[in-house]
Structure 1
Amino acid sequence: MRLEVLLPYGVFLEQNDVSRIVAETSDGSLGLLPHRLDCAAALVPGILTYATQQNASVYIAVDEGVMVKAGDDVLVSVRRAIGGKDLGELQEAVKREFLTVDEQQRSVRAALDRLESGLMSRLAEFPHER
């Protein structure tokens, strides 16, 4: 298989001769082998693992995104990715970098929702013309 990991600003990885891929989805782990049917999956922050024909496993910490398998091509599009050899360090990077940012984004969204709600209630107080 041919694996390509895309980021919003460029290509993170292009790898040929991939023998298997394992990624984390909202429904659990998803494994891809060369003869699997074409599919698409939503990815959650976690570790994407792939092995080359030489059986060398490689780990990539990925943020949420999407993975599409079409024929021998597997495209992974994520917001952020970090490569590394130590699985423990990558797991910590996911917790530190990706999940913390997601929590900050939730806080910002909650604050914006409160502002919008306050604005709507203020607008509702204006007298209506008949």
Structure 2
Amino acid sequence: MPDTMHLKVLLPSQTFVDMTGVLRLVAETSQGSIGFLPHRLDCVAALSPGILTYETASGGEVFIAVDEGVLVKAGFDVMVSVRRALSGKDLSKLHALVKQEFLILDEHEREIRSTMAKLETGFVGRLASFSHE
């Protein structure tokens, strides 16, 4: 039996991480942190935005800032599916990257939602004027 796991972190448009030889993994859920070792029972967990940490014998400890998502452990395979992710080995640099990338994206999403709401309001107003004619 292997004493390591195979980790895949999937984004909507790409595979972010595909790593074999993972010794341990720690992820953030709404219930708190949960740790995974190779022989842990299979499970599914809803991830909260936070830091996912994994360790390999050759690469040491790696940190990945993730958005909300899902983690599935089946056998020695761990699949993580999230909307956004950033990785690094230094938590302070990762924190700065998260602030820069995620907060800018959140502002961009707010602008898009506002524009869509204006378009929908205009469409409904025009549709209502057609029904009165």
Give TM-score scaled by structure 1 length: 0.77
Shift of 1:52: 2.5
Structure 1, unmatched stretches of 5+, are none
Asked if structure 2 preserves the Cα contact closer than 8 Å seen for 1:45 and 1:98, the reply is no
Q: Flag the 1:38–1:81 CA change in 2: closer, same or farther, 3 A.
A: same
Query: 1:7-46 residue pairs with structure 2 within 5 A?
Result: 7-46=11-50
Query: 1:75-90 residue pairs with structure 2 within 5 A?
Result: 75-90=79-94
Question: Which piece of structure 1 moves more, 120-129 or 103-112?
Answer: 120-129
Structure 2, unmatched stretches of 5+, are none
Runs of 4+ deviating beyond 6 Å: none
Identify the match of residue 5 of structure 1 among 4, 9, 32: 9
Distance 1:103 1:43 in 2: 22
Q: Flag the 1:28–1:120 CA change in 2: closer, same or farther, 3 A.
A: farther
Shift of 1:128: 5.0
| Paired residue secondary structure (2:115) | helix
Shift of 1:116: 0.2
Cα deviation code 1:60-106 (max 9, x no counterpart): 22344332111110012233433222111111211210232023212
Q: Flag the 1:101–1:53 CA change in 2: closer, same or farther, 3 A.
A: same
Q: Flag the 1:26–1:120 CA change in 2: closer, same or farther, 3 A.
A: farther
* Letter matched to residue 21 of structure 1: L
Distance 1:21 1:122 in 2: 54
1:97 aligns with 2:101: yes
* Letter matched to residue 16 of structure 1: T
Percent of residue pairs bearing the same amino acid type:
60
Corresponding residue pairs, total: 129
Q: Flag the 1:26–1:123 CA change in 2: closer, same or farther, 3 A.
A: farther
Q: Which residue of 1 aligns with 2:62?
A: 58
Distance 2:54 2:113 in 1: 35
Query: 1:88-127 residue pairs with structure 2 within 5 A?
Result: 88-127=92-131
Distance 1:87 1:22 in 2: 15
Shift of 1:120: 0.7
Question: Which piece of structure 1 moves more, 101-110 or 32-41?
Answer: 32-41
Shift of 1:26: 4.3
Q: CA RMSD in A?
A: 2.6
